[in-house]
Amino acid sequence: MTAVEQGSAISATAPTLVLVGQLYGIHTLYNDEQLANEWDTCDLHIQLTSLSDSIASGCPRDIGPLSEQDQGLDDLRVTSHLTLNVILARLKLIQNFGPGSPLRVGELKKFWPREDVEGLEERIMFLRSELEVTVSSLQTLGTIGEAFFSLDITPGRRAPKEPPLRDQRREGSERFSKPSIVTLFGKDATGLCNLGAYEEVDKVYTENTIFTDHETTIQDFLMEAIKFSSMTDREESVIIAHSKTFDWIFSSDEPTAVQGWRPKSSLSGWLQNGEQQEGIYWISGKAGSGKSTLMRFIMHHAKTVSLLRSWARNKRLITASFYFWISGTLEQRSQTGLIRHLLTQLLDQQRHLIPMVFPERWKHLLSLSTWERVKDSISWDLHELTAALKLFLNYAGRGSKVCLFIDGLDEFAGDHQQIVDFFKDCVDSYTHVKICLSSRPFPIFRAAFGKNPRLELHELTRRDMLHFARDHLYRNPLISQILTQNEEAASQLINSIVKEADGVFLWVILVVQSILRHENYKDIPQMHEYMGQHPTDLDELFTHSLFDTASRDQTLVMSRLFQLLQAREEAFYATQEQDASSMSLWDFSLADQSEEIVTYIPKNLQQATEQDVIRICEVTKARLTRECAGLIVAHPSGLSTSMLQHNTPSPTQQLGYSKVSYVHRTVKDFFSLSHVRSRLLEPMLGSSFEPHISLLTSIVLQFKWPLDEFHPDRQINDRWPNILLAFTHARLSRNHRESQLVLIPELNQVLCQHWASRDSIENDHWARSLFSSYEK
């Protein structure tokens, strides 16, 4: 690269010189209403697009294999290009869905959460280090290196601090501005000195404190603010352990694997042992071996509480859990979400500690009037949450023991070493805290927890898989009749299923379901032959089930169902609306059957009957089982936002509010492969099916045909997630005429029926409540 070209590259990267630093600066601002004046999203996007194009074309490669060094540099070029595209995608999101220019601080925080900034920082730091090691003097350094060295993230290059809005807050923000790995108890700025970032509350609160009505309201306000809507989605989607499986986990006679491997320490012993015991117990296992199911089994088993009470002795026992989910929302895969969910559970058991865990927010909220508090929005910073968790553990340690259950450590969407340090620091600092963790046996986790009490699940579940397969096969009358004719051959078949699974419980579940769906057998050898057709590799098994054995009609239905899930994911990523991260069975079923349902739906708004809900939902559930081979499932859900306003939901409502999701992370990963998506979309090429239209239709139908009892009111907030989704599906649809000229007016019409309008108010309309000026 010539000096002129180098100069051009440096000039092009000038707008990105303080990009990450500015983002960190934005997240230290306390006033969300002030303008982010330094941000010109359009200009940044134009110049970064030019830079991305130059990187993409700046390394022409020769025909034939590259040398090892050139291949390493080409890989870095590709990674650099992808990283720039990540930045460009975020800028495009702000352009498309932001309120325009100038942006306010709160809006920018929403579109670019701090944890995503930290993830970008980690990626750039990795690229910088790789470039420094790999590149000594090559022409390609000019384009790649200048691009990412210019994204300076050193503290000295950070955006300048804004004028102090609250002196006490500024002191805390300055301490928190250093974007190092966030640990609870380390020696950096987020460690023990964090306590100094928050003033002590003037009043000491205990379990015997009698809170005033005003203080109780503030408690409730903070508890609601710390929650997020997808908190329990992952746990609810985890398969509940089959009867009599995993009982061995509490037995002193734990199973021995075929290879003779035994757990280093029994879980029962770890749960009840005192201060000398290791603070972390590690459950590892292959993908699909049943780790999440086991964690849910342990967490909700009465024996767990009994054993932990032996450890707690005369102190209060406090427990909490979290399930990481890489395919979920930001909160489901991040440290922020982890701490928010833990604090929600911990504080619910020790509500009197709320003022001392959030001392500054507590004093601030107490000083506000009710109207001011209603208008006050809370955005949570990772450092504040970390300090809050430390304060809780400090205060709770005076009379309590705390046990945490954390599933899916490998699904944390950040630096795995960071989350390892986080939990190790926690137990190292407090003898009254212990943590049970689960993950795949990645080297980083084996290095961190390999010497801790532990078990390797895929080595210990042979009996459970045998029990599961036997129960389900014998439960089917036709198959049971064949099996009972030759018990020895039946036993050999079941043993073969478990042997082929090689410790992967998910394989056993899917193959047994496949055998049950097939049904057309003459004898056990024929069943054995059919079982042998299933590949042992999970991805190959998914391909076999979805493509190799499916009929043309099945692939058409499967393609429709997959496209509906994919379209909702697109809308979720566009809006980042938490309630859009998963679909209810009622939502999914109305979209799946929208063409048939529209013909007989009632013209006037009315609650759906139990018969209609059951009929429609069961049709789609059956399609998921048959056409999707059990890879997409409907599972029971917690109470939805709308249901919280009513009494306990009926069984029919619970069916409608079931969540539709992939049965396992490996399935989600499989559907994300480009060649798999192509094969899934191929059957519908050239058809008039438009998934965004179907989902928009579903939202209109849900407003016309609600699961809950309907009463017009003037509260539109609970309906906002679906309103936002409706407009997003209309925008993303290829058929703008139908979506925007037909369905959006239909949506407006039905929302007007939900809105209790007042004749005394000029131009009274539901949209005016949301956007303040309907005319505008």
- 306 falls in which pLDDT band (50, 70, 90)? very high
Residue 162: what are its φ and ψ, rounded to 5°?
A: -80, 165
Under 8 Å between Cβ of 333 and 413: yes
Q: What is the mean pLDDT of residues 199-220?
A: 79
pLDDT of residue 199: 43
Q: What sign does the CA torsion over 506, 509, 512, 516 have?
A: negative
For residue 707, give the nearest of 623, 630, 626, 637 by alpha carbon: 637
| Ranges 37-41, 466-470, 659-663, most confident | 466-470
- 184 falls in which pLDDT band (50, 70, 90)? low
Does residue 69 surpass a pLDDT of 80? Answer: no
- 459 falls in which pLDDT band (50, 70, 90)? confident
What is the percent of the chain with per-residue pLDDT over 70, rounded to a whole number? 75
For residue 622, give the nearest of 613, 610, 611, 633 by alpha carbon: 633
Under 8 Å between Cβ of 231 and 582: no
For residue 460, give the nearest of 179, 711, 256 by alpha carbon: 256
**Kind of pairing between the strands at 454-456 and 280-284:** parallel
- 533 falls in which pLDDT band (50, 70, 90)? very high
pLDDT of residue 12: 33
pLDDT of residue 156: 38
d(CA 185, CA 182): 9
Under 8 Å between Cβ of 712 and 614: no
Q: What sign does the CA torsion over 759, 641, 724, 584 have?
A: negative
Contacts of 90 (CB under 8 A, 6+ apart): 111, 112, 116
List pLDDT tens digits, range 492-520: 999 999 999 999 999 999 999 999 988 78
Between 340 and 37, name the one with better pLDDT: 340
pLDDT of residue 259: 41
pLDDT of residue 189: 31
Does residue 327 surpass a pLDDT of 50? Answer: yes
Tokens at 196, concatenated: 């100094």
Amino acid, single-letter form, for residue 170: R
According to DSSP, residue 545 is labeled I
For residue 410, give the nearest of 455, 440, 375 by alpha carbon: 440
Under 8 Å between Cβ of 105 and 33: yes
Instruction: Specify the residue for token string 């701090």.
Output: 114
**Kind of pairing between the strands at 433-439 and 280-284:** parallel
pLDDT of residue 146: 52
Contacts of 408 (CB under 8 A, 6+ apart): 234, 291, 292, 323, 324, 325, 326, 438, 439, 665
3-state SS of 56-100 is: HHCCCCCCCCCCHHHHHHHHHHHHHHHHHHHHHHHHHHHHHHCCC
Does residue 772 surpass a pLDDT of 80? Answer: no
- 16 falls in which pLDDT band (50, 70, 90)? very low
Q: What is the pTM of this model?
A: 0.66
d(CA 352, CA 205): 6
Q: What is the mean pLDDT of residues 115-136?
A: 65
pLDDT of residue 520: 83
pLDDT of residue 5: 37
Instruction: Determine the 3-state secondary structure of 484 from DSSP.
Output: coil
- 160 falls in which pLDDT band (50, 70, 90)? very low
List pLDDT tens digits, range 241-282: 777 788 889 876 555 544 444 555 789 989 998 655 789 999
For residue 243, give the nearest of 65, 454, 468 by alpha carbon: 468
3-state SS of 382-430 is: HHHHHHHHHHHHHHHCCCEEEEEEEECHHHCCCCHHHHHHHHHHHHHHC
List pLDDT tens digits, range 655-692: 999 889 888 888 888 988 889 999 999 888 888 899 99
Does residue 8 surpass a pLDDT of 50? Answer: no
pLDDT of residue 553: 87
pLDDT of residue 71: 58
Multiple choice CATH, 233-457, 3.40.50.300, 1.20.58.1180, 1.25.40.10, 1.10.1200.10: 3.40.50.300
| Ranges 121-130, 551-560, 576-585, most confident | 551-560
pLDDT of residue 465: 92
Starting at the earlier edge strand, list the strands of the sheet with 632-635. 583-584, 659-662, 632-635
Domains of the chain, by residue range, sit at 3-165, 233-457, 462-534, 552-771
pLDDT of residue 14: 37
Which alpha helices (DSSP H) does 519-646 contain, by range? 524-532, 538-543, 552-575, 585-592, 594-597, 610-627
Q: How many residues does the chain have?
A: 776
pLDDT of residue 1: 39
Report the Cα 50 to chain-centroid distance in Å. 33
Q: What is the mean pLDDT of the chain?
A: 78
Q: What sign does the CA torsion over 574, 575, 579, 583 have?
A: negative
pLDDT of residue 13: 34
pLDDT of residue 63: 43
Instruction: Specify the residue for token string 């702000």.
Output: 94
Q: Is 56 exposed, middle or buried (0-12, 13-18, 19+ CB in 10 A)?
A: middle
Task: Return the half-sphere exposure (C-beta side, CA atoms, 13 A cut-off) of residue 521.
Answer: 24
Amino acid, single-letter form, for residue 64: G
Tokens at 595, concatenated: 């063409």
- 654-688 burial: b if 16+ Cβ within 10 Å, else e: bbbbbbbbbbbbbbbbbbeeeebeeebeebbeeee
pLDDT of residue 191: 33
